[in-house]
Amino acid sequence: MSTQRSGTVQGRPDLDTPVQATCEVLDRRREGAYWVLSFAAKEIAERAQPGQFVSLAVQSPGALLRRPFSIARVSQQGVAAGTVDVVFDAHGPGTEWLTSVRGHDVLDVVGPLGRPFPMPRRKVGCLLIGGGYGVAPLLYLGETLRREGLRVDMIVGAATQARLLGVIEAKRLSASSVFTTEDGSYGTQGRVTDVLEAVVAHGRTGVVYACGPNAMLRAVSERCGELHLPVQVAVEERMACGIGVCFTCVLPIRDRAGNVHLRRACLDGPVLNGARIAWEDTRYGAPSARTPAGEGGDA
Amino acid sequence: MSASPVRDQPARAWPRRRSLDPADVDLRVQLAGVALPNPITTASGCFASGVEVDRFYDVTELGAIVVKSVTREPRAGLPTPRMAETPSGMLNAIGLQNPGVDAWLARDLPWLQDRGARVVASIAGNSVEDFATVAGRLRGQPGIIAIEVNLSCPNVEERGLVFACSATDSQEVIAAVRAEASVPVLAKLTSDVTDVVSIAEAVVDAGADGVTLINTLLGMAIDPDTGRPELWNTYGGLSGPAIRPVALRNVHQVHQALPDVPILGCGGARTVEDVVQFLRAGASAVAVGTATFVDPFVGPRLIAGLRTWCAERGIAAVTDLVGDVQPWR
Ligand SMILES: Cc1cc2nc3c(=O)[nH]c(=O)nc-3n(C[C@H](O)[C@H](O)[C@H](O)COP(=O)(O)OP(=O)(O)OC[C@H]3O[C@@H](n4cnc5c(N)ncnc54)[C@H](O)[C@@H]3O)c2cc1C
Ligand SMILES: Cc1cc2nc3c(=O)[nH]c(=O)nc-3n(C[C@H](O)[C@H](O)[C@H](O)COP(=O)(O)O)c2cc1C
Ligand code: FES
């Protein structure tokens, strides 16, 4: 069913042993404005960690490249053991095609790929900030943090109520949850960064994890910088390969000495230290300005 | 046009020999005097430095590994977006991001040497001197079986004209590299020229031991809504199945004109049938680039598939296919 071989990328076992697998689709259903796709992928489920992604071959006409999606959930136990879920927004030919797959269809999947969210080294409060479908990997992360006995708070944002993902799960998972919509159709009107400081204050937040459009991640990273909070963000960049061989997915990252290097988001990311990203050298957002969301998302 | 009646009769139909045991098919080839265990290599810039794909399979199974182009100094490369998908292909504008030849020798090559990979070093530059310097640094390095010269680089001394578009500029680079190199030299050419054969003749005259055909085709895509080019760099190189017919035509033209010049075919190869087409057109080996992005296992899949393809048709040696095109007339 799949092939795998262990090796080491620059001596970093956290990046190791993705597999390519032919996976049976178990379910494809709507969730608000999004779609949830579940498939059987035992080897991927075994290896997956929150923040990693899978890349799916799509069969829309003329499409050549795989499409990357964050892992939204994996089941290790019970009847659904070995199942991987992704949540996606259908907005282009490849994702439109994915809405047409049916149970028992097969998908060609490579994963898990990329650097996962690092677990906190100490017992601290964890604030999870998700925008649009970016909430999906954070719910997976939240479950993991909770199992470690850590406090989880969540801020979930979207343009409008229909695009808020995981409201029920966020409430169930977290000690406190705040919802923002730009049009005020649900929760607080505004953006996730508008409520960040208040949530940090009462959640005794020691670390922030965020996923959503890059413009949102920039705003969150900058706000966390001002508040002296460590922040880990899961970025999106166009990826031709997802496995580290093409160098299309780079982001400018500052090293300890302050020098900026273009690093591969598919290999060194997608989870990156938000404070290390040289956002001013990217095309994403502007300091705390109201910029249109980056490609493929909303928050 | 009054055509003479054409009878629909294949010139030569397989299978014409009895099928073989796949294990008995000889996949070995010679590329510019270098022996390879099979004709499948990577394409430069599509395999990073090898270690990334080694997570999936033993990359030393490949005939050779053509690594990412290296330059004299490190290059940061271009801002994103660096890639845009197009029908059956993609555009890229990476800007030759690489750590520079010295860092590559110190950090990346040792891993390939330890693994026993057959490495084709790809070199790039913006002046004849750049190329010569990099070639000199590579001299005598174990594991490097050949140097591929990426001539699709702007020549700063000629107002940015791409070397590969000028026979004389290409010739100067190849002569300088040939003088420095201790291994066979392959000149990587572009199809974005009026007459690829004349460029191929020029580089062979200058001492190239073979040619790689082809690099990406220059292209563009514009977001219809925003009016912005899809790539930060405006233009980028088109690769993938979309360019395969163009690549095949280049290989065939050069092989017809210069049948003794070894060719590394490159451009859109993805399936065993694609590989066979390149061999028939005249390539001694085939470099696979963009297909790796879609299928990390494409290399071993093509090697195994080629073995079966030949066995089923009773072809005992893959070299029997090289240049075997049956004319209509
Ligand atoms: C690490 C990572 C995780 C992601 N996780 C999710 C997720 O959980 N749910 C989800 O809905 N989407 C996710 N995306 C975005 C998703 O990959 C794109 O929406 C999808 O590729 C669009 O394909 P398309 O054919 O429908 O759109 P098109 O716009 O037609 O795609 C054309 C090309 O652009 C690329 N592209 C388009 N939008 C994006 C984007 N936002 N990011 C990166 N590449 C893009 C495509 O891969 C394709 O190569 C993620 C992207 C990355 C990089
Ligand atoms: C992302 C990317 C990066 C590339 N980088 C290089 C490079 O550094 N040097 C080079 O000679 N060719 C480079 N190429 C061109 C390929 O080696 C190859 O000639 C071309 O992509 C056509 O083959 P393909 O269709 O199999 O990819 C690059 C191609 C791609 C897609
Ligand atoms: S997507 Fe190819 S290197 Fe990251």
Query: Could you give the angle at the alpha carbon of B125 between the alpha carbons of B119 and B126, nearest 5°?
Result: 170
Query: Could you give the angle at the alpha carbon of A241 between the alpha carbons of A237 and A246, nearest 5°?
Result: 85
Mapped onto helix, strand or coil, the DSSP state of residue A225 is: helix
Compute the distance between CA of residue A189 and CA of residue A194 in angstroms, rounded to an integer.
9
Out of A15, A110, A261, whose CB is closest to B296? A110
Tell me if A48 CB under 6 Å of ligand 1. Answer: no
Lowest mean pLDDT among B9-13, B106-110, B292-296: B9-13
- pLDDT value at residue B11: 53
Q: In the predicted model, what is the mean pLDDT of residues A196-213? A: 92
Q: What is the interface pTM, i.e. ipTM, of the complex?
A: 0.91
Residue B22 above 50 pLDDT? yes
Confidence bin at A193 (pLDDT 50/70/90): very high
Please answer yes or no on whether B55 and A65 come within 8 Å at the CB atom: no
How far is the centre of ligand 1, averaged over its atoms, from the C-alpha of A295 (Å)? 8
Contacts of residue B248, Cβ cutoff 8 Å, sequence gap at least 6: B265, B267, B277, B278, B281
For an interface test with B, the pick among A54, A245, A251, A260 (most B C-beta atoms closer than 10 Å) comes out as A245
Please give all residues whose beta carbon lies within 6 A of any atom in ligand 3, as ranges: A 239-242, 244-249, 264, 266
Mapped onto helix, strand or coil, the DSSP state of residue A280 is: helix
Q: In the predicted model, what is the mean pLDDT of residues B36-63? A: 95
Lowest mean pLDDT among B12-21, B47-56, B112-121: B12-21
Whether residue B266 lies in the annotated active site? no
pTM over 0.90: yes
Compute the distance between CA of residue A43 and CA of residue A24 in angstroms, rounded to an integer.
13
- pLDDT value at residue B155: 83
- pLDDT value at residue B160: 82
Counting residues of chain B whose pLDDT is more than 90, the rounded percentage is 90
Quick: pLDDT tens for A247-272: 999 999 999 999 999 999 999 999 99
- pLDDT value at residue B156: 82
Amino acid at A81: A
Q: Which two tokens stand for residue A252?
A: 């400018």
Question: How would you label A92-115 residue by residue, b for 16+ Cβ within 10 Å and e otherwise?
Answer: eebbebbeebeeeeebbbbbbbbb
- pLDDT value at residue A80: 75
